[in-house]
Copies of this chain bind each other. A is one copy, B any other.
Amino acid sequence: MKRTHNNNQLTLANLKETVVLKGWVQKTRNLGGLLFIDLRDRFGITQLVSRPQGPTYETALKLKSEYVIEVQGIVLERESKNKHVPTGDIEIDLVELSILSTSDTPPMIVSNQTDALEETRLKYRYLDLRRPVMQSFLINRHHIVQSIRSTLVDDGFYELETPILGKSTPEGARDYLVPSRLYPGTFYALPQSPQIYKQLFMIAGFEKYFQVARCFRDEDLRADRQPEFTQIDIEASFVDEEDLYDITEKIMRDVFKKVLGLEIKTPFPRMTYKTAIETYGTDKPDTRYGLHLVDYTDQFKDYDIPLFAGKETIRGIKVDDQSIFTRKVIDELSAHVKKHHGDALATLKVNQGALSGSLQKFIGEMTPDALGLEEGNLLFLVPGTFDDVTQSLGALRTQLAEKLSLIDSNRFDFLWVTDWPLLEYDHDEQRFYARHHPFTAPDDPEVLKTSPIHAMAKAYDIVLNGYEIGGGSIRIHDQKTQSLMFETLGLKDEDVRSRFGFFVDALKYGTPPHGGIALGLDRIVMLMTKTDNIKDVIAFPKTQSAKDLMMQAPSDVDQKQLTELKIKAGE
- Residues of A whose CB lies within 8 Å of any CB of B are 3, 22, 24-25, 40-42, 66-68, 70, 100-104, 106, 123-127, 129-130, 135, 138-139, 141-142, 145-146, 153, 158-168, 170, 174-190, 196-197, 200-201, 203-207, 214, 216, 218, 227-228, 230, 238, 477-478, 498, 502, 506, 508-513, 538-540, 542, 545-548, 550-558, 561, 564-571
Contact = CB atoms under 8 A, between A and B. Distances in A.
List of 7 A-B pairs having minimum Cβ-Cβ separation, nearest first? A185-B570, A103-B510, A129-B204, A167-B553, A66-B510, A180-B554, A186-B554
How many copies of the shown chain assemble into the complex? 2
A188 B554 contact: yes
Contact of A177 (B129, B205, B561): B561
Contacts of A566: 569-571
A510 B546 contact: no
A547 B185 CA distance: 14
Given A103-B510, A183-B547, 19 more contacts: A22-B512, A67-B510, A129-B206, A142-B159, A142-B160, A161-B230, A161-B538, A162-B540, A167-B551, A167-B554, A174-B181, A175-B557, A177-B565, A184-B570, A185-B570, A186-B557, A187-B555, A200-B540, A567-B568
24 contacts: A22-B238, A24-B510, A24-B512, A25-B510, A42-B206, A100-B512, A101-B477, A101-B478, A101-B513, A145-B159, A161-B230, A162-B539, A163-B548, A165-B176, A165-B216, A165-B228, A165-B542, A166-B548, A167-B554, A179-B567, A180-B554, A185-B556, A187-B557, A188-B554
A476 to B, nearest CB: 11
B203 A126 contact: yes
A242 to B, nearest CB: 10
Contacts of A506: 124, 126
A513 B554 contact: no
A179 B228 CA distance: 15
Contacts of A135: 204-206
A162 B551 CA distance: 13
Contacts of A160: 138, 141-142, 539
Contacts of A178: 176-178, 190, 554
Contact of A158 (B139, B216, B547, B553): B139
Given A101-B478, A178-B190, A557-B177, A146 B159 contact: yes
A501 to B, nearest CB: 8
Given A100-B513, A478-B101, A164 B216 contact: yes
A245 to B, nearest CB: 15
A513 B175 CA distance: 40
Nearest to A539: B160
Contacts of A182: 545-546
Contacts of A227: 165
Nearest to A64: B510
